Amino acid sequence: MCHPVDCGCGQHAHQVPWRRWHGHRGCCCAPEYAPRCFPSREEIIEGMEEYLKQLRAEAKGVEERIAELRREV
């Protein structure tokens, strides 16, 4: 094992990089923990919707900055 069984991490996924440690996935203190390798269709849609929301917010910020620059001239 990579670290003691009583590590107390609770949420195993936040302790683990996406790359594997010693050939298994999940926290080393819980070898039975093995998350799915691929997201479901619903998870992909949810992730893409969140990304689109972030892109729209970014675009709004860019538009506001352009407007500020035009007012300064």
Pair (72, 42) in one structural domain? yes
Q: What is the pLDDT of residue 47?
A: 96
Q: What is the pLDDT of residue 58?
A: 98
- pTM, two decimals, is 0.49
Pair (29, 55) in one structural domain? no
Pair (25, 45) in one structural domain? no
Tell me which residue of 40, 29, 34, 20 sits closest to 2, measured CA to CA: 29
CA dist 44 and 15 (Å) reads 23
pLDDT digits (tens, 9 = 90+) for 5-54: 566 665 544 444 444 444 444 555 656 666 678 899 999 999 999 999 99
Given a cut of 60, whether residue 66 has pLDDT beyond it is yes
CA 61 to chain centre: 23
% helix / strand / coil in the chain, to the nearest 5? 50, 5, 50
* Domain span at 23: 1-36
List, in sequence order, every residue forming a beta bridge with 21; answer none if it has no partner: 24
Q: What is the pLDDT of residue 44?
A: 96
Helix (H, G, I), strand (E, B) or coil at 1: coil
